[in-house]
């Protein structure tokens, strides 16, 4: 169990910390949605956020790329420190430009959301924003599509509209799009909840392969998925982080009763 | 045992059933009449347009009508070349769209993507009031305010010209374009916008490269509707554009449009059945065909670029 000192658990690990959530509170207007969250995110590992609906797991995920800044009335308190060796900057600070944060932290959404453009243009979108050259973008599009196991399926129709792909292909395209800009962390918000079991499997496979290149944070309502893809799991309930540990421990020997009840299916 | 009471209720309710059924049928018939009246009126209008035009085209050849550039129905040597009116219609419409499309689209982008909710609630009704001002008022606004204003910069601009009513027509159709475009931009799902922001895009980049393409069908429908409106605008051009048919592509000259010709001739006292009288219907059917074609194009475009999210 983490409690107030996430440093305690990182001391137990040899893994490097990529980001550190410290004393994070979040408010939707008057609604106190996250309460004093403390947890580490380890570099090149997959960390799953689980918990019943409304527990705040997606809210926490969307703090990492300042998505809440898009809507008025939202407020952060506390810190998310980004970068290795603890000399990090707080990405929630008002001095930090949210666009700068999103340049380094990618996101894949619940429902595949390809832009109404060609397959090529979808991948090139983030690269164009960053001002890369045409030849760099061409190479990167191919690399990212290969990386997302999509190249062979789409290489002959890069100029076709991305919305004509199947749901699973669209989601892999969205992953390729997010990975094309070499983010430090990639956030997945229930990435398979709109997909069939076979497409789900291929996305999970992809996530496992991605962690060599990037740090992954994934929200899932599917506990088997957390077991299959993640190294660490955070269990949240009613806006609080109840327990954070290795996935093996959370599912085999959880320290807190609520965690045990949830992972054994007694509620949620 | 059970048969008995059922039989008796059936027997008792029979007359009231009959009345009720009759009432239902009557009401249904009235509703049908109301619903079909608009169809019947449309068919009636088309019938009159066509039948009067047919007698017109028995006197004037279709080729002369479609290729001629002089429109002088009241002269001794009457000429019926629709291009004299069509040119005026096209020029005023083009001037109007030149104003309305950029301003309408930009206001729509601003209101949908940038404006804070409170400002939007104030600006949107103000824009929509523009469409509610009677077109006669716009006509005098063009003649007595915009034309003198333009004459300060363009000293050889005549008092009656197509530029001024074109600009004012453009102002009048801004709300048609902005309102429909804005609705279709706001219908773009938040997940697409968030996807763009999550890539590190700014608001402008998101609006320009994600929201605009996603709402293309609604925006093109808005443009087409704007064109249909501008083509049919009558009062503004009739008041400020001069009523003389004039084959010219220069907006600084005065000219008549198809719609203003119909107004000016139907105000006179032409006897029924004369060719001059029938020329109104020939002009009218031309206007009808233009609007029909733009609507069909609009329908085609919005199907072609139908949002697929």
Query: What are the tens digits of pLDDT across the range A82-101?
Result: 876 556 688 898 888 999 99
In a domain, B299, yes or no: yes
Q: Do B199 and A129 touch (CB under 8 A)?
A: yes
In a domain, B260, yes or no: yes
Can you say how many angstroms the Cα of residue A6 is from the centroid of all Cα atoms in its chain? 19
**Count of domains forming chain B:** 1
What percentage of chain A carries pLDDT values higher than 90?
73
Q: What pLDDT is stored for residue A173 in this prediction?
A: 95
Checking if the pLDDT of A4 tops 60, the result is: no
Strand partners, A106: A186
In a domain, B49, yes or no: no
In a domain, B199, yes or no: yes
Give, to the nearest 10 degrees, the angle between helix B117-132 and helix B163-186.
140
In a domain, B214, yes or no: yes
**Please, are residues A124 and A142 in contact by the beta-carbon 8 Å criterion?**
no
**Please, are residues B136 and B207 in contact by the beta-carbon 8 Å criterion?**
no
How does the average pLDDT of chain A come out, rounded?
89
Could you give the C-alpha distances from B252 to A127, B167, B243, B248, in angstroms and in order?
Answer: 48, 12, 14, 9
In a domain, B198, yes or no: yes
Q: What pLDDT is stored for residue B267 in this prediction?
A: 78
Q: Do A117 and B308 touch (CB under 8 A)?
A: no
Nearest to B201 among A110, A129, A164 (CB): A129
Helix (H, G, I), strand (E, B) or coil at A82: strand
The pTM assigned to this predicted structure is 0.80
In a domain, B182, yes or no: yes
Task: State the best of B198, B212, B218 to mutate against chain A, taking most chain A CBs within 10 Å.
Answer: B198
Q: Which of A74-83, A179-188, A240-249, B67-76 has the lowest mean pLDDT?
A: B67-76
The whole-angstrom separation of Cα A104 and Cα A90 is 13
Q: Which of B150, B172, B138, B151 is nearest to B240 (CA)?
A: B138
- Show the domain range for B265: 83-308
DSSP H or E stretch at residue A24: strand A17-28
Q: pLDDT band at A3, cuts 50/70/90?
A: very low
Helix (H, G, I), strand (E, B) or coil at A46: strand
Q: pLDDT band at A115, cuts 50/70/90?
A: very high
Q: Which of A255, A222, A260 is nearest to A49 (CA)?
A: A222
How does the average pLDDT of chain B come out, rounded?
87
Q: What pLDDT is stored for residue A5 in this prediction?
A: 45
Strand partners, A66: none
Classify the complex by whether its ipTM is higher than 0.85, answering yes or no: yes
Checking if the pLDDT of B177 tops 60, the result is: yes
Helix (H, G, I), strand (E, B) or coil at A34: strand
Tokens standing for residue A217: 């944070």
Give, to the nearest 10 degrees, the angle between helix B83-109 and helix B275-304.
30
Checking if the pLDDT of A242 tops 50, the result is: yes
Domain architecture of chain A: domains with CATH: 6-263 (3.40.50.300)
Q: What is the CATH number of the domain that holds B295?
A: 1.10.3720.10
Q: Do A125 and B198 touch (CB under 8 A)?
A: no
What percentage of chain B carries pLDDT values higher than 90?
42
Could you give the C-alpha distances from B35 to A58, B32, B44, B45, B46, in angstroms and in order?
Answer: 51, 5, 15, 17, 18
In chain A, what residues touch B192 (CB-CB under 8 Å)? 113, 115-116
Task: State the best of A115, A124, A194, A217 to mutate against chain B, taking most chain B CBs within 10 Å.
Answer: A115
Query: What are the tens digits of pLDDT across the range B102-116?
Result: 999 999 999 999 998
In a domain, B118, yes or no: yes
Q: pLDDT band at A11, cuts 50/70/90?
A: very low
Which distant-in-sequence residues (6+ apart) come within 8 Å of B285 by Cβ?
A: B49, B50, B53
Pairing status of strand A17-28 against strand A46-50: unpaired
């Amino acid at each position: 169990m983490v409690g107030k000192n996430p440093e305690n658990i990182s001391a137990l690990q040899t893994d490097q910390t990529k980001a550190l959530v410290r004393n994070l509170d979040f408010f939707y207007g008057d609604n106190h949605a996250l309460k004093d969250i403390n947890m580490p995110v380890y570099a090149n590992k997959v960390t799953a956020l689980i918990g019943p609906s409304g527990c705040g797991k997606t809210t926490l995920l969307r703090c990492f790329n300042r998505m809440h800044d898009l809507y008025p009335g939202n407020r952060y308190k506390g810190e998310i420190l980004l970068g290795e060796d603890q000399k990090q900057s707080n990405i929630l600070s008002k001095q930090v430009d949210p666009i700068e944060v999103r340049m380094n932290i990618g996101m894949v959404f619940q429902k595949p959301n390809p832009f109404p453009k060609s397959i090529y243009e979808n991948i090139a979108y983030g690269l164009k924003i960053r001002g890369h050259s045409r030849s760099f973008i061409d190479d990167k599009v191919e690399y990212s599509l290969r990386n997302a196991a999509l190249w062979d399926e789409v290489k002959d129709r890069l100029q076709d509209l991305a919305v004509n792909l199947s749901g699973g292909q669209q989601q892999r395209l969205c992953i390729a799009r997010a990975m094309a800009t070499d983010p430090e962390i990639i956030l997945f918000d229930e990435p398979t909840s709109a997909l069939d079991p076979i497409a789900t499997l291929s996305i999970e496979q992809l996530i496992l392969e991605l962690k060599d290149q990037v740090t992954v944070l994934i929200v899932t309502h599917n506990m088997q998925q957390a077991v299959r893809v993640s190294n660490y799991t955070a269990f949240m309930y009613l806006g609080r982080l109840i327990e954070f540990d290795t996935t093996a421990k959370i599912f085999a020997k959880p320290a807190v009763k609520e965690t045990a009840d949830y992972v054994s299916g007694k509620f949620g | 045992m059970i048969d008995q009471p059922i039989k008796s209720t059936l027997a008792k309710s029979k007359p009231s059933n009959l009345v009720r059924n009759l009432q239902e049928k009557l009401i249904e018939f009235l509703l049908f009449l109301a619903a079909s009246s608009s169809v019947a009126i449309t068919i009636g209008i088309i019938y009159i347009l066509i039948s009067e035009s047919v007698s017109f085209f028995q006197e004037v050849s279709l080729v002369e009508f479609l290729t001629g550039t002089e429109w002088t129905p009241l002269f001794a040597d009457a000429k019926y070349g629709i291009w004299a009116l069509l040119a005026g219609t096209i020029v005023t419409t083009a001037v109007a769209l030149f104003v309305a499309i950029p301003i309408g689209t930009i206001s729509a982008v601003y209101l949908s993507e940038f404006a804070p909710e409170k400002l939007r609630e104030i600006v949107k009704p103000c824009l929509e009031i523009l469409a509610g001002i009677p077109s006669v008022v716009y006509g005098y606004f063009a003649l007595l305010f915009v034309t003198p204003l333009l004459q300060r910069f363009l000293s050889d601009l005549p008092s009656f010209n197509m530029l001024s009513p074109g600009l004012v027509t453009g102002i009048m159709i801004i709300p048609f374009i902005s309102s429909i475009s804005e609705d279709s931009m706001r219908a773009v799902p938040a997940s697409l916008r968030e996807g763009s922001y999550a890539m590190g895009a700014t608001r402008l980049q998101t609006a320009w490269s994600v929201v605009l393409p996603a709402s293309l069908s609604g925006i093109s429908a808005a443009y087409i509707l704007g064109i249909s409106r501008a083509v049919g605008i009558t009062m503004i051009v009739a008041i400020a554009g001069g009523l003389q048919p004039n084959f010219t592509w220069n907006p600084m000259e005065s000219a008549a449009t198809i719609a203003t010709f119909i107004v000016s001739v139907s105000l006179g006292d032409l006897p029924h059945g004369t060719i001059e009288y029938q020329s109104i219907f020939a002009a009218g059917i031309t206007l009808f065909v233009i609007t029909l074609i733009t609507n069909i194009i609009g329908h085609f475009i919005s199907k072609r670029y139908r949002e697929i999210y």
